Chain A
């Protein structure tokens, strides 16, 4: 078995370390020990997402992810779920533009079971895949699409903005959920071909994080995954690079039955993994993250023209990232008034840059978000896989906080000046078809999954 190098704790990593290994069949392995709680997370990233899909088969990567829970050679039907849950574990899988991930969080003494299950489906899914599960999961996924996108107000905004921001034919032009027509068109043979092309040990990274014995864990991984043959049938995804600037404002007005007017926009931003992306993240945080941001203060507090106003960042490595603006208007307010205020704030920020206090706040917020992310074994396992798959180096996960803290105010201003411009955005304006009904408030909230990500089952299984 090839030996990996042992990392020592790096500055800003909070004392966390990770080791890397590679099996002969190409499966990359990342291990990180942490004995605070008797739990461990197993996370597998396959380097395939909706960007690998072809015209007429959108949604296939995600539909396939569902099929991964329908049994394999030694695991019957829903056995994957049953065995993990019966062992006191939780599990799910999600699909995004750039990858598909599968994860189990287990009591530490049950880690071997999760490895056995993941290996069984990586090596033998096709021996169990049949028409019955294909038809069933096609219906489940279509209901997922209805529930999360088609039957909620503004539910298709993300899909519409993505289609505007990435041109026709671009690998990120469509979102992971796919279209109803394409979900209907997908065949069992498509699913089989998808598995044969992308589900190989040399197209995956596995991380195991938590209360583990690294030597024993590596031996188990070798035992269960080591005999799965590698293969090289994968075509690289179509090139996702685009010019830095769109060059003109792209715009679509939607007339729909929504409760209020809304202004949404997607700005084209630097690729993830660059200093410029971290600078853009800080710019968006100052402008639209949290309740002390410039847009919140301007629109919600002072002008009182919006119910909510904020920016988010969708980090992407194979295409420009997206800076995501979302403003829901207060009653009676017109969208052009909002747009004018947003443009003023963005122009002022580009001209003046952030104040020292704003930099401090934005960095403190992003630092806490990272601490949250790395504070659970599952979050850490996912980040280690992310940096291994997308950037070739899992250690980068442990130093990500420090990179954000190293960014200067000048870099933040430069990112805003270069990118947060009207000629670099796709805009979606919602105009309600009729006034909202007279009715009182309702209670309860629902769990949602991050934008651009679809999951095997709703929410996290606790």
Chain B
């Protein structure tokens, strides 16, 4: 064999793009049921698997003192039996529909997600409604969920990226804030949770009047109103309003915490602080700038850390909303995360800071900004191909107190954002002297090189 293949093909110039087909983020139809439940529906032709997202305004902030994790146990217990089915029967009935039902509790509230082929939507929506309307919360099932949750904790602690996330929350937020503590509770608090505590939380915070259901999929030929009336419409509850939540605050004094993992072959990095959420007009510029910094393999961080130096499989910068409020007092987590081999930890952090300093000193280029806009706007039709993706974003908007057309407007705003604004936003999102760095790795090998960088005081805690 020779390299003839490399020289004998006929080359053509890079083709030009065709004419784009207009695409817009779908606009949902908003309404409500007599019981006060808000319903957003969205017809997506061809999407045979329907996605249903329910948001319950039961924030972690509302968990009683000493019972962190009760919202999580409640969320899980929704699929563990109702007034009609035992836990085993309920799981069997759901799977008979070919459905999946997931639920989790986060700072803004509880999310319940159902996916099911449209032909079995009435049956599955009935099961979901039963779960919300009349969950059994039997003592025995709650005991089992608590024991199961306690067994999960060591697995999460052992995972470097989850261990890093836990440490960063503890560092950033005041000890009195719910945000400083693990979302799903600690061994001490979870052990205190029983059926009565779960029911009390449910009674206090779960009701149709403060809940929203988002339903997306190919709904042609489906009488959704009739199905809703028979299912989620049968859920009763009082009309109490959702409780207000306090503003989010954090201490982003530049410092380093090493979570010691003797013998670890890599160091997990998580570098973060808090910043504006989607209510702030800077959001599109922040999204754009953060993408240029670390959104993909060709962004500034990976261009150096991965593609030039080979220190990592990939480092990403991102902004993730923690919790929003209608008055704009919410916040997002702004962070850089990835893992690097142990001996490259010092050099990788040094390069990472160099990237941040260069960005602050010289700014983004117009070319970088253009490519980022083209990607962020251009991928929209790909990103929202499935019903589940559309439902997820619509429910995020509800949970964050944003208008239903937020995402649709976001694309226009991104396209209008210039290089100067994007630079300003990312530089103020990631200021080199106001970042809290968590490193999960072998302290005996990484502590000295990290101290030498001068990126803040260094403390070591046990793994």
Residues of A within 8 A of B (CB): 14, 34, 36-39, 73-74, 77-78, 81-83, 85-90, 105-113, 116, 119-120, 123-127, 135-144, 146-148, 150-153, 193, 196-197, 200, 211, 220, 223-224, 227-229, 231, 233, 257-260, 290-292, 297, 300-301, 304, 307, 328, 330-331, 357, 360-361, 364-365, 367-368, 371-372, 375-377, 436-446, 457-458, 461-462
The interface residues of chain B lying within 8 Å CB-to-CB of A375 are 47-49, 385-386
Is A368's CB under 8 angstroms from B49's CB? yes
Give Cα distance in the complex from A36 to B48, angstroms.
12
Is B6's CB under 8 angstroms from A462's CB? no
Is B339's CB under 8 angstroms from A147's CB? yes
- Sampled A-B contacts (18; CB under 8 Å): A82-B371, A88-B378, A88-B379, A107-B382, A109-B18, A123-B5, A123-B9, A127-B6, A136-B308, A228-B9, A260-B155, A364-B95, A375-B47, A376-B385, A440-B186, A443-B183, A457-B313, A462-B379
Give Cα distance in the complex from A86 to B296, angstroms.
12
Is A86's CB under 8 angstroms from B375's CB? yes
Contact of B266 among A110, A147, A200 (CB under 8 A): A147
Interface residues of B in 170-200 (CB under 8 A from A): 181-188
Is B312's CB under 8 angstroms from A38's CB? no
Give Cα distance in the complex from A86 to B23, angstroms.
17
At the interface with chain A, which of B30-38, B142-150, B236-244? B142-150
- Of chain A, the residue at the smallest CB distance from B96 is A361
Contact of A364 among B87, B98, B115, B340 (CB under 8 A): B98
Per-residue CB contact flags for chain B residues 96-132 toward chain A (1 = under 8 Å, else 0) read 1111100000000000000111001000000000000
| Interface presence of B88 (CB below 8 A) | yes
Contacts A74-B14, A89-B382, A233-B1 given: A364-B97 contact, CB under 8 Å?
Answer: yes
| Interface presence of B459 (CB below 8 A) | no
Contact of B156 among A126, A148, A442 (CB under 8 A): A442
Chain A proximity of B273: nearest CB distance (Å): 16
Per-residue CB contact flags for chain B residues 1-16 toward chain A (1 = under 8 Å, else 0) read 1011111111110110
Give Cα distance in the complex from A142 to B374, angstroms.
32
Contact of A112 among B18, B152, B312 (CB under 8 A): B18
Is A441's CB under 8 angstroms from B385's CB? no
Is B310's CB under 8 angstroms from A87's CB? no
Contacts A135-B310, A307-B148, A368-B117 given: A151-B157 contact, CB under 8 Å?
Answer: no
Most-contacted residue by chain B among A142, A150, A233, A292 (CB, 10 A) = A292
At the interface with chain A, which of B159-167, B281-289, B350-358? B159-167
Give Cα distance in the complex from A357 to B116, angstroms.
18
Contact of B310 among A39, A78, A140, A223 (CB under 8 A): A140
Extra A-B contacts (5), CB below 8 Å, given A39-B385, A124-B7:
A37-B381, A123-B9, A127-B6, A139-B311, A152-B160
| Interface presence of B377 (CB below 8 A) | yes
| Interface presence of B314 (CB below 8 A) | yes
Give Cα distance in the complex from A116 to B85, angstroms.
56
Give Cα distance in the complex from A105 to B9, angstroms.
25
Contacts A38-B381, A440-B182, A441-B166 given: A14-B307 contact, CB under 8 Å?
Answer: no
The interface residues of chain B lying within 8 Å CB-to-CB of A361 are 92, 95-96
The interface residues of chain A lying within 8 Å CB-to-CB of B19 are 109
- Of chain A, the residue at the smallest CB distance from B189 is A440
Most-contacted residue by chain A among B12, B91, B313 (CB, 10 A) = B313
Give Cα distance in the complex from A81 to B309, angstroms.
18
- Of chain A, the residue at the smallest CB distance from B310 is A139
Is A357's CB under 8 angstroms from B96's CB? yes
Chain B proximity of A106: nearest CB distance (Å): 8
Contact of A151 among B88, B185, B265, B306 (CB under 8 A): B265
Contact of B166 among A146, A153, A438, A440 (CB under 8 A): A440
Give Cα distance in the complex from A304 to B140, angstroms.
11
Contacts A260-B151, A458-B313 given: A441-B184 contact, CB under 8 Å?
Answer: yes
Contact of B88 among A116, A147, A301, A364 (CB under 8 A): A301
Is A229's CB under 8 angstroms from B8's CB? yes
| Interface presence of B210 (CB below 8 A) | no
Contacts A78-B307, A375-B48, A441-B185 given: A153-B162 contact, CB under 8 Å?
Answer: no
Is B155's CB under 8 angstroms from A153's CB? yes
Contacts A124-B6, A436-B154, A441-B182 given: A89-B378 contact, CB under 8 Å?
Answer: yes
Is B48's CB under 8 angstroms from A371's CB? yes
B-side binding surface: helix, strand, loop or mixed? mixed
The interface residues of chain A lying within 8 Å CB-to-CB of B12 are 116, 223-224
- Of chain A, the residue at the smallest CB distance from B9 is A123
Chain B proximity of A254: nearest CB distance (Å): 15
The interface residues of chain A lying within 8 Å CB-to-CB of B297 are 78, 81, 457
The interface residues of chain B lying within 8 Å CB-to-CB of A113 are 14-15, 17
Contacts A86-B374, A233-B1 given: A371-B49 contact, CB under 8 Å?
Answer: yes
The interface residues of chain B lying within 8 Å CB-to-CB of A461 are 296
Contacts A37-B385, A224-B12, A231-B1 given: A439-B153 contact, CB under 8 Å?
Answer: yes
The interface residues of chain B lying within 8 Å CB-to-CB of A224 are 12
Contact of B382 among A105, A150, A193 (CB under 8 A): A105
Chain A proximity of B23: nearest CB distance (Å): 5
Contacts A73-B6, A440-B187, A445-B162 given: A365-B95 contact, CB under 8 Å?
Answer: yes
| Interface presence of B463 (CB below 8 A) | yes
Is B154's CB under 8 angstroms from A291's CB? no
Is A437's CB under 8 angstroms from B15's CB? no
Contact of A90 among B163, B307, B382 (CB under 8 A): B382
- Of chain B, the residue at the smallest CB distance from A289 is B95
Give Cα distance in the complex from A46 to B375, angstroms.
27
The interface residues of chain B lying within 8 Å CB-to-CB of A228 are 5, 9
| Interface presence of B444 (CB below 8 A) | no
Is A109's CB under 8 angstroms from B266's CB? no
| Interface presence of B432 (CB below 8 A) | no
Contact of B339 among A108, A139, A151 (CB under 8 A): A151
Contacts A112-B15, A116-B15 given: A300-B21 contact, CB under 8 Å?
Answer: no
Is A441's CB under 8 angstroms from B183's CB? yes
The interface residues of chain B lying within 8 Å CB-to-CB of A109 are 17-21
| Interface presence of B79 (CB below 8 A) | yes
Is B11's CB under 8 angstroms from A74's CB? yes
Give Cα distance in the complex from A78 to B188, angstroms.
49
| Interface presence of B27 (CB below 8 A) | no
- Of chain A, the residue at the smallest CB distance from B379 is A88
The interface residues of chain A lying within 8 Å CB-to-CB of B15 are 112-113, 116, 220
Give Cα distance in the complex from A14 to B47, angstroms.
11
Contacts A85-B371, A437-B462, A440-B186 given: A304-B313 contact, CB under 8 Å?
Answer: no
Contact of A437 among B147, B157, B374 (CB under 8 A): B157
- Of chain B, the residue at the smallest CB distance from A25 is B9
| Interface presence of B396 (CB below 8 A) | no
Chain B proximity of A207: nearest CB distance (Å): 17
Is B371's CB under 8 angstroms from A457's CB? no
Is A443's CB under 8 angstroms from B162's CB? yes
